[in-house]
Each structure stands twice: as C-alpha cells, then as structure tokens.
Structure 1
Amino acid sequence: METMVKNIAERKKLIIAILALSWPAIAEQALQTAVQYVGSAMVGQLGAQASAAVGLTITVNWLINSPAFAMGIGVLSCISYSIGAKKVDDAKAAAIQSIIITFVLGIILSIITLGVSPFLPKWLGAAPEIQKDASIYFAIICMPMIFRVSTIVFGAVLRSTGDMKTPMRVNLIMNITNIILNFVLIYGNQTLSIGGLNIPTYGAGLGVIGSAIATAISYCISGVLMFVAIYKNKLVSPKGEKIKLHPEIMKRCVNVGLPVTLERTITCLGQVVFSSLVTGLGTIAFAAHSIALTAEEAFYIPGYGMQSSTSTLVGNALGEKDEKKFHETSITIMGIAVVIMTITGGLLFLFPEFIMSIFINDAEVIKDGASVLRLVAVSEPLFGALIILEGIFNGIGDTKTPVFISILSMWGVRISSTYLCVSVFNFGLNAVWICMIADNVVRFALLLFRFINGSWKKKFQL
C-alpha cells in the first residue's frame, strides 16, 4: 500500500513537471497559430486567388525552415543531455555553436530562396493569375532569413535549459506586431467581415504584399529578441566567451541535426510535390486545401507544444542514465497528448464549417474545406501520439530511424497514393486528405514499434 501511494505521488509530481514545462510551449504554439489564423483570415477577405497565392508556398516554407528546426533539435539534444550529466561547460559550448549555425544557415538559405523566388510559383504548377503575387510574397518573407533562423535555433537553445517562457514571450511580441502590421498594410479604408464581426480598417492597401512585409518585420523583431534572451540566460550565455568553433561539440550537434535535416528536407520536398499535385484540382480546391491545413494547426497545438518539453525531459533522463524516469516520462506525456488531442479532434469534427468561415467567405471553399477537416479530425489522437514519439527520439538523439520512417512513409504512402488519386483516377480533395492521413498512420505504427522494441537503448546506454 505504501509503495502504491509513493508511486501515485511520484506520478503526480511528474505530471505537474510535464505541465509546468509544456504550458508555455503550448501557449507559444497557440500564439503562432493565432497569427496564422488572423493572417489567413485577413488575406482571405481579398478572395480565393489571394488565399491561393499565399497558401501556395506554405509547404515550401516548411522546407526552408526544416534545416533550422533540425539543427535546433541537434543543439537541444546536446544541451539537455549535458545539463542532465552536470556538464555545464559543454552546454555553454553547444549554445555558442548555435550562433555559428544560425549565421551560416541564415546566409545560405537567403541566397537560395531569393534566387528561386521568381520561378517557384510556376514550378509548383500555380495558375497564371496568382504567380506574380505568390512570387513577391515568397521573396519578401525570405529576406530576413537570418532572423528567421535565429528565432528557431535560439528558441531551441532556451527550451533545452528548461526555459519555455521566454520563447513564448518573444513569440507573443512577434505575433502582436504581425497582427497590427497586417491591419495597417493589407487593407485600405474599408470594413471587413471576419467570423461575423464587422471591422473597420484604415491602411496602406498593399494586399498580399502588405501581409508579406508584416511577416518579414515580425521575423526581424523575434530574431533579435531571441538572441538577447540567450545572451541573458545564465546556463548558456555567450557573454564573455569567444564565438569560435568547438569541433567535438559541433560534431555532436550535427550528428543529431543532420539526419533530421535530411528527413525534413526530403519529407518537405514531398509536401511540395503533394501541394503541386493538389493544384491540379483547381484554384478553389487548392484554396480549400491550404486554408484547411492552416485551420487544422490549431487543433494539434497541444501535441507540438508538448514535444519540446518531451525532448528536454527525456534528454535529461538519458544524461542521468535513469531508465525508469525515461520510461515513465515518455508514457505519461504520450497519454496526456492523446487525451487532449481527442478533445480537440472532437471540436474540429463538430465545427468545421464555422472554422473555415473564419478565413474566407466563399461558400464552395468552405464546403470543401469542412469536408476534409472532418476526415482529419478522426486521426488527431493518433497524430498526438506520433508527435510525442518524434519528440522522444529527438531528445535522445536517435534520429536516423525516424528519418528512414518519414521518408518511406511520405514518398511510399502519401505521394504515390495521391498521384494515383489525382492523376490516374481523378478523385477529389477528400481522397487527397485520406492519403495524408494514411501517411500519419504508417509513421505512427512504425515509430511505436521502434519505441516498444527497445533495441535502441543499448546504443544510447539507457
């Protein structure tokens, strides 16, 4: 009886620790999604063509961000392990490597994105009437690339130390800035109807270009603030340190981050191909598709919000060589994520038309988008477990197997089946989203098998 009471107390303490680490990350994800909601809703008032022009490059932006997110995972894994093992100097050295990574990645990605921006919409198969706006929008949001990378990588550094609140605050500032600038730059003097509300606007009337400028300025502000935050962080501050390459630490960060970079790059390329296939269904269907993708993001916020805390906590447990703590943390977080995303999935299933109407007034787009949102709502609990499993493997630095699984599933399941549905059998948008759901189901099953199998424990000395 005494042992049972002790176990319950320990589990309660663990849940409290998980929630304490997770809620700022969840709030941060919610803020980012709120801005995307507002931005998409505001652009949606300009019509289906404007929504399609902005939505066209969503998956390309995922591709662009993937190296930064991947190297952020590499740095996070290295720092959280070092802190768990009480190696503070290694943690600080890893944070300094993150500055070098940010600078190099920012320059490389800037050159690539600005170079391809004039040609990208045509490559993606966009209708001629949206190509110009899509090209300009993409170029503008990619100009401040070094600040964009800074936001992602330095945010990961802060989370690895257990500081989830500062990235949340920085994103709050960035998002408020973005919303204000959107109102000022997108519209002229007019009245908007968003979600049943009539909102008067007074601004520059720049349309899609105004939205891009607002996003670019917001990236600059958040990038600067993230750097200031790590400079003030006691555990990893570069203050008084030389910004120099530490080969051993950099190698550890790259060894974790490189496979994730490869995985995210190849899967995001798959997303780009996936989107280009959807453009073949027409502008209305593609607008419904891109808006539905944005709408769904709000409903998997809890999963991605908890993913960072998962990586930090399991990384600490690995550094401490505590297998029991690792196992209990992993299972508990996965359970919490599944329960919460069952609830959010239920809301998505019940109110898809209302959610779509927030973004656009076009009845046909709303109808198509609501149909696919109901389909994906059923898979939300499983998707929550998938997100946490990814966080577990990222936290311990076991990224090679998930890389293989993601590539296999994306290209072997999603892309191939979507090609058949769209190009061979001429099925509609619902079939495309069923292919997307099938991809997530396969990834979840394979990652869960890898986790339960436990053969990876020997390699990571757990």
Structure 2
Amino acid sequence: MQKDLTKGPVLSSIIKLAIPIIGSSFMQFAYNFTDMLWVGKLGSNAVAAVGTSGFFLHLGWAFASIILVGNNIAVSQAIGSKQENKAQNTAINALLGVLLLTMLYVGLIQIGHVHFIDFFELNNTETETMAHNYLRMASLGLFFIFTTRLFTGISNARGDSKKPFQITLIGVIINIVLDPILIFVLDFGVLGAAIATLVAQLFSAVLFLMQRSYIFLGARKKWDLSFYQMLNLAKLGLPPSVQYMIFSVIAIVMAKIVAGFGSDAIAAQKIGLQIEAMTFMTIGGLNGAIMSFTGQNYGARDYKRVNSGYKSGLLIAIGFGLIMTALFQLFAEEMVRWFVQDDATVRIGASYLRIVGWSQVFMCVEMIGSGVINGIGKTRYPATINIVMTVVRVPVAIWLSQSHRLGVDGIWYAIFISTFLRGILVTSTYYYLNNTWLKR
C-alpha cells in the first residue's frame, strides 16, 4: 500500500498517517517498557545496569541515523515527484549502508564494552557485571533493529504506516512472552531481557524482508549499488545524525554526573526517561508523519500545503504536551512505582518527572518544527540548534547540581532549560524559512 499525501484534507491526511506511526513508536517503546518492568523486579542495581548500557545502544542508533534519516527524506521526495525507480535505488543503498555502519559499531562494542561501562565509575561489581553482559548481547540485536527501522521509514515515506505497526506489534508480543521466561524461569536475569528483545526484533526484521523487500527495493537486476549514493544519503542525514550522536554523548556525560549521586539516582533517571518516552514516542510519530507529508508536498512544490501541515501538527503537539505536563505533575510518584518500590529511587524519579514535565510542550513544538524543516531538506537548521542547546546542558547541570545549590535536581533543571530554548529557537527558524524558502 502507498498513499499520495499531496492530495486530500491536510489534517486528516496527517492524522491517518501519524496514528499507525505513533502506534509503531509505542510498540518500540513497549520493548523497553516491558524489559524495565521485569528488570525492575530484580532491584535498582539491575535497572541501573540496563540503563547504563542503554545509553550506548542509543548512541548506535544515532550513528546509524546518518543513513536512516537521509533515506526517509530522499524516499519521500522521490515518491512525491513520482520517481519510483529512484525511491527503490535509494532504499537498497540505504540498507547496505546501514548494515555496514552497524557492523562497525557492534564490533566496537564487543571489543571495548569494558571501557564503555567503566566510564561511569559505578563502583558496584554486581551492577557492572550485569551491564557488561547486557550491552554485549543487546548490541547484536542492532542489526535487526536498524533493518526494521529502515523499512519502517521507507513505508512511512510512501504513506503506509499501518504495515510497520502490524509487524512491530508481533515483535512486541514475542518480547512480552519471552521476557519473564528468560529473566526468571530460565534465570538469565538482565541477560534474558536482552535475548528476548533480540529474538523479537529478529522476527520483525524477517517479516519486513519477506513482505516488503520487493516493493521497497525493487528487482535485484535493477539494483544500482553506489557508494556515491550512500554518501549523498549520509550528507543529507548527517546534520540531524550529528545532532543525535551529540545528544547521545551528552546523555552519557549527564548520566555520569547523575552517577555521582549513587545507584538510586541512576535508576531514577532511567525510569524517568522511560516514562518521558511516552511523550517523545507520541510526538516522534507525529514528527515522522509531518516529515513524510512535508517531503511529498515539497517534492510536488505545493508550499502552501506544507505550511498548512505545520499549523495542523503544531495544534496537536501543543494539546498533547499540555496533557503530559499535567500527568507528570499529578501522578509522578505513582508512575515511578510502576517500576520500583524503593523510596529513595521513587523520590528522585518523581522529582525528575515534575521538573522535566514543564518542558513537554516545548519538546512537542520543537519536534513538529524539526519535522517540517527536515522534510524540506534543510536539516542543518534544527540540527545546529539542538546540538548547541544539548551541549549547554553539561555546564548548566554541573553548576546547578553542586551541593550548595540544587543537588541532583539541578541536572533535571538543566534539561528543562535546554528543551525550552530548543522549542523557541526551532519555531523561530521555521517562520524564518517560511518567509524565504516556503513562501512562494
């Protein structure tokens, strides 16, 4: 199935595309959420181990997004300009590029995992051992995760967001079934969570390849494998990818600052991030829909429709952001207790949610603006803003978290300040571009 996003009512077109993408995002979220629910029963040390490893897995995604983001933009614009062969050749070169990048990164983890985990100076042998085991096993699943994300991006760019949702749902069900069996019945502990996710993602990747490889990649005899085209995709995706990589590195540095406050703080941050992902995943789905919608309409040179799409997305984003802010303020402790019952962890995690909760609207607004700007191919603008604002977090967090100031809460305030500024600056950039590139 493929949908032309250059025709029909703007709002309904975006919503129809966004809902399955949001559903798929929540299915991806469900992998981590399910793992954390079960791992949380092993105690705060286990949560800290998975959380510590997770930063490096996310860095791998940022690395692969050099190709993933460029592919999504290029395919949507090719579809919008009715160039099917170009879309298919873009996809096959993107797949090869992603696999090569993943091979490089997984090899790096397998060789250097000890140094990665030691960076945090956890000073807890049990936590460190669990983190090493989890990271090595989970990294092997990146091959399947990135293949699934590539095919998901291609499908969304073509206007079909239902198939990724269906395939991801199957993977989540497999993960939900395997988690308790591998973690507790077979007594693999946190390693069992990594294996469960690996197997589930393997099934998802195989299903995508079986059902969509010919449609997305075309006939093998027509493949035009080109290192030059991979470089073009990397050039298109590099600005947002650098943004994601720097964001991941800064997240690791911020986690090290948090580690100075003990294992409870590390676990609380991981849980807080997991809960906040409800906002990120939902608006991330809308971001994906907006980018595909913008890409097709920009490719068709319908600039007024691009602007209408932005306004519609912004309205949804503000409303949802306000709802999440209210939930974080009212039910912070209850949400943290989904995962752990330790009072110290709950107290720190609830404080995280309340402080960062005030930034949810600005996060949503920023992601809509970034989706539109990336969709027209001007990826360097939101990337530059997000890089600068993310780097700012470190000195602000160090200053505010000093014992005579705000302590660990100062780290959460640093996140709030940077997210607030990102929302304001990306919105201003969109209106600047609207008056120059889009206003015709």
TM-score where L is the length of structure 2:
0.93
1 CA distance for matches of 2:139 and 2:412? Answer: 28
Q: CA deviation at 1:117?
A: 1.2
Q: CA deviation at 1:429?
A: 2.5
Match for 1:174: what amino acid?
A: G
Match of 1:433 in 2: 412
Q: CA deviation at 1:424?
A: 7.1
Match of 2:156 in 1: 159
1:247–1:142 distance in 2 versus 1, CA, 3 Å: closer
1 CA distance for matches of 2:244 and 2:387? Answer: 9
- Does residue 359 (structure 1) correspond to residue 355 (structure 2)? The answer is no
- Does residue 387 (structure 1) correspond to residue 367 (structure 2)? The answer is yes
2 CA distance for matches of 1:227 and 1:271? Answer: 33
The correspondence for 2:266, drawn from 286, 301, 314, is 286
Runs in 1 of length 4+ with deviation above 6 angstroms?
none
SS of corresponding position for 2:217: coil
Match of 1:99 in 2: 95
Match for 2:329: what amino acid?
A: F
More moved, 215-224 vs 10-19: 10-19
The correspondence for 1:300, drawn from 256, 275, 280, is 280
1:164–1:107 distance in 2 versus 1, CA, 3 Å: same
Q: CA deviation at 1:81?
A: 0.7
Match of 1:213 in 2: 195
SS of corresponding position for 1:454: helix
2 CA distance for matches of 1:241 and 1:172? Answer: 33
Q: How does 1:334-345 map to 2 (within 5 A)?
A: 334-345=314-325
2 CA distance for matches of 1:384 and 1:427? Answer: 27
Q: How does 1:172-321 map to 2 (within 5 A)?
A: 172-187=169-184, 203-233=185-215, 236-246=216-226, 249-321=229-301
The correspondence for 1:410, drawn from 384, 390, 401, is 390
- Does residue 109 (structure 1) correspond to residue 96 (structure 2)? The answer is no
SS of corresponding position for 1:245: coil
- Does residue 50 (structure 1) correspond to residue 79 (structure 2)? The answer is no
More moved, 370-379 vs 283-292: 370-379
Q: CA deviation at 1:242?
A: 4.5
1:148–1:33 distance in 2 versus 1, CA, 3 Å: closer
Q: CA deviation at 1:57?
A: 2.1
Q: How does 1:77-96 map to 2 (within 5 A)?
A: 77-96=73-92
2 CA distance for matches of 1:213 and 1:437? Answer: 35
Match of 2:15 in 1: 19
Match for 1:132: what amino acid?
A: T
Match of 2:166 in 1: 169
2 CA distance for matches of 1:313 and 1:229? Answer: 24
2 CA distance for matches of 1:442 and 1:120? Answer: 31
**1:137-163 Cα deviation digits (max 9, x unpaired):** 000000233222212222211111111
Match of 1:448 in 2: 427
SS of corresponding position for 2:114: coil
**1:59-91 Cα deviation digits (max 9, x unpaired):** 222211112234211011111111111122211
Match for 1:178: what amino acid?
A: N
**1:124-183 Cα deviation digits (max 9, x unpaired):** 222333111101100000023322221222221111111111111121111111111111
Q: Does the aligned pair in 1 maintain the 2:182–2:196 contact within 8 Å?
A: yes
Q: How many residues align?
A: 434
Q: Does the aligned pair in 2 maintain the 1:311–1:395 contact within 8 Å?
A: yes
**1:294-316 Cα deviation digits (max 9, x unpaired):** 11112333211111110000001
1:114–1:242 distance in 2 versus 1, CA, 3 Å: farther
SS of corresponding position for 1:124: coil
**1:192-249 Cα deviation digits (max 9, x unpaired):** xxxxxxxxxxx1111111111112222222222232343143xx33234454423564
1:419–1:456 distance in 2 versus 1, CA, 3 Å: farther
2 CA distance for matches of 1:160 and 1:377? Answer: 31
Q: CA deviation at 1:455?
A: 7.1
SS of corresponding position for 1:325: helix
Match of 1:143 in 2: 140
Q: Does the aligned pair in 1 maintain the 2:31–2:172 contact within 8 Å?
A: yes
Q: CA deviation at 1:259?
A: 2.0
The correspondence for 1:59, drawn from 55, 58, 61, is 55
SS of corresponding position for 1:438: helix
2 CA distance for matches of 1:448 and 1:277? Answer: 30
Match of 1:4 in 2: none
For structure 2, the 5+ residue unaligned runs are 1-5
Q: Does the aligned pair in 2 maintain the 1:97–1:246 contact within 8 Å?
A: yes
Q: Does the aligned pair in 2 maintain the 1:185–1:204 contact within 8 Å?
A: yes
Q: Does the aligned pair in 2 maintain the 1:353–1:370 contact within 8 Å?
A: yes
Query: What value does the CA root-mean-square deviation take over the aligned residues?
Result: 2.1
2 CA distance for matches of 1:276 and 1:118? Answer: 16
Match for 2:109: what amino acid?
A: T
